[in-house]
Amino acid sequence: MMHKEKYEVTPEPRTTISNRLTSFYGNIRSHLLGGVLTGRRSVYEVSDADLAEGEDGLTAFRQETDGKEGKKNVVKFQRTTSGYLFKPTRMDEEVLLKPKSVELQRSLNRQAHKTSLYEIPNLILRRGQSFDISITFDRTFSEADDEIVLRFVTGRQPMQSKNTVIPVTKVRNLQQGEWGYQITSTEDKKVSLKICTGSSCVVGRYTVYIDTVHRNNEKREEKYRYTHPDDIFIIFNPWCSADTVFLEDENEREEYILNETGRIWMGTVGKFSVRPWNFAQFDDVCLMAALAMLEKSELADSARGDPLLVVRAVSGVINNNEHDGGILVGNYSGKYDDGVAPYAWNGSSAILEEYLKKRKGVKYGQCWTFAAVATTALRALGIPTRCVTNFISAHDSDFSTQIDNFWSPDNKPRKRLNDTIWDFHVWNESWFKRPDLPDGYDGWQAFDPTPQECNEGVFTCGPASVKAIKQGKLYLGFDTRFLFAEVNGDRIHWTIDSEGNMEAIAEEKTIVGRFLSTKAVNTISREDVTNSYRYAEGTSELEDVIKLAKKLCARKEVKIASPLADDIEFSYNGSVQKNGDIDVEVKMKNIGKESRVVDIFITAIATKYTAVPSNDLKDSLAASVLEPGAENETKLSLKASDYISSIDTDSHVNIYIIANVKETNQKYICREIIRCERPNLELKTEGNATVGKPFDVIVKLVNTLSIPLTGGYINLEGPGMQKVSAVKIKKPINPNEEIRETIQIKPRRAGRREIIANFHCKQLCDVTGVTEVEISGEPNKS
């Protein structure tokens, strides 16, 4: 490889820390892209003949001669144990300035750059910020006669023109965000340097070269190159005002960069559930996995300093599909026997570790796991990122803000024709500036790593400015119109006959885009960010935005015939008992002066959170005659034993209701989601928690349902903790029975940590619990 020929200086193969990690996970690029790249893109294999011709900017040590033929004379290299000796004729080797050792001061620099928590022991720097190193030479350093040039080299084909070879020279004054170094002290053979990296430099893994030049009395230059044996990593820096990911508020930086655990909101409107998640961005596999994602995306090395392109690249490779592969395989079927069920994961680290080991998509994930893994990868790279949940989320592929539902003439739902409205959908936001857009669109940028629509040949969505989404500026990329349609929309109800003829019968205004939620800063509470995505209902601003959006769609406005009278009042009440029993009631009252005949149909259907139906559970059909002032009600009840064992673990019950008043053609249509109550999962730690020593976590569960729970498993993990195998519950858990399991876990890092557990069985999932523990002792350095 080119940079091996030009920059690798040690004759024997070295086994560095980062090399060992890379070796363990194999050759990332060849496994991810395949070995045959010829004809698809340039392959970076360079021959010796190529190296002998041109490329002067790479080595920086070629010399021109004044020979008659005018040919280049390449300086010959003599290999030594620590570097290359450039040996022209009659050179006095005693004047060469050779580094004997280089101290990167990893502990102090990592602390200053807020990278101490990364388990990879290499020096990890945030760009645009200074750091200190010291070099011990084989002789006394002379500022008058000796010169030091540092070279930071990254990428598959390092070139100075592509900003993947960075020569760093001495400057009079260091400027934040500008490359340069100053000599802070000299003490005999030891020289201390303060170095600053560029605030827009490429992020990734770098090799550091130290070039020294000695000018003798004859003004002849004697040159030497030293290569540091360990790679360093440079990542984005939200603490640097010159970096495009700069985030001003320290509390937000702590939350969206340094917080290793979080909360993801799920469930339904009116009955939120919260899923604790172990982002674990500092675990040893996570930074390596994030860099592997950039390799998988084929994002050019020189583009990896732009957070917009990095976020889009990572988002595109999170999902694994038949078009372009990826990290995590989506599955919404309820059948997960050949992998791990999406609800069984507690965190991102286990997913990323399995991916790096097996080199293929990990089975399985759903929207919240896609979003959580994206959060982990981008926080590991230094980009402020969070998960956002949109309740009642539309999948509107034509961006019309119109969602269609269908009914048969005999008032039965035609479920499989309906446009999709997910109960909830989780995507991401990352914080960075948008110099590619007009002024005013910096800040949170929304993107969706869940594969839904193919855009330019890749399943990806965003990043789109959240401000542009709110303002309806759908032409401001990327994919703003798709995200806009997920949070704005009306539902139109149609009847469809056997010949396919349709008639619009009812409309529900602005039903999607409710209670957009993310974890609040410094708490475990929910922060509502709906106002960031859409104007308040009923405002003229929202009306103007919807009108603007509809101009970009070819659909015509739907006209719905008004009923002859609207004199029947309907009200819905649905509840689920703690034991899992469901009761549904629809009340009707005639407030008119004439009698009415009302036909009402209620059906309960097992449904995924993606609104895809699986099987019918129970229905009720009734006709009522209501005299003026009269009231009536229609009920439907489901026992837990009647439905829980007959639906998939991650399904719930949807209630469809349609009522028709014969005399006036008045319609009442209602669709509600019912999820049974989850038991509490209690966690408690026993004994002192110390780095490197196992401690006990006691997990307690009481079955509150009226049926036994069978095939149960408990999964437990935490950031900086060794992986624990799932614990199988061998016996059924009977109604009102309590179980306790003691699980040992061993920490790798000190500090206050959250431990996250989840329980799932054949009957239910998403039963979670959290506890905090203070871990004493120093983290391992090896």
Residues carrying an active site annotation = 367, 425, 448
H helices present in 551-596, as ranges: none
- Among 549, 397, 404, CA closest to 491: 404
> What is the rounded CA–CA span in Å between residue 157 and residue 164?
8
Residue 681, SS3 per DSSP: strand
- Among 402, 296, 307, CA closest to 359: 296
Distance from CA of residue 201 to its chain's centroid? Answer: 22
Judge whether 759 and 767 are in contact, CB under 8 Å.
yes
Sheet order of strands, 738-745 included: 681-686, 695-702, 738-745
662: which residues sit within 8 A by CB, 6+ positions away?
Answer: 596, 597, 598, 599
- Among 272, 269, 310, 308, CA closest to 293: 310
Instruction: Measure the CA dihedral 709/710/715/716, to 10°.
Output: 50
> What is the rounded CA–CA span in Å between residue 3 and residue 6?
5
DSSP 8-state secondary structure symbol assigned to residue 347: B
DSSP string, 61-95: --EE---TT--EEPPPEEE-SSEEEE--TT--GGG
> What is the rounded CA–CA span in Å between residue 190 and residue 197?
22
> What is the rounded CA–CA span in Å between residue 552 and residue 400?
8
> What is the rounded CA–CA span in Å between residue 238 and residue 381?
11
Residues constituting the chain: 782
Q: How many other C-beta atoms are found inside a 10 Å radius of the C-beta of residue 63?
A: 13
Judge whether 298 and 41 are in contact, CB under 8 Å.
yes
> What is the rounded CA–CA span in Å between residue 697 and residue 685?
4
- Among 775, 771, 756, CA closest to 716: 756
> What is the rounded CA–CA span in Å between residue 539 and residue 90?
85
Tokens 């829980």 belong to 644
Prior bond to 336 cis, omega within 30? no
Residue 646, SS3 per DSSP: helix
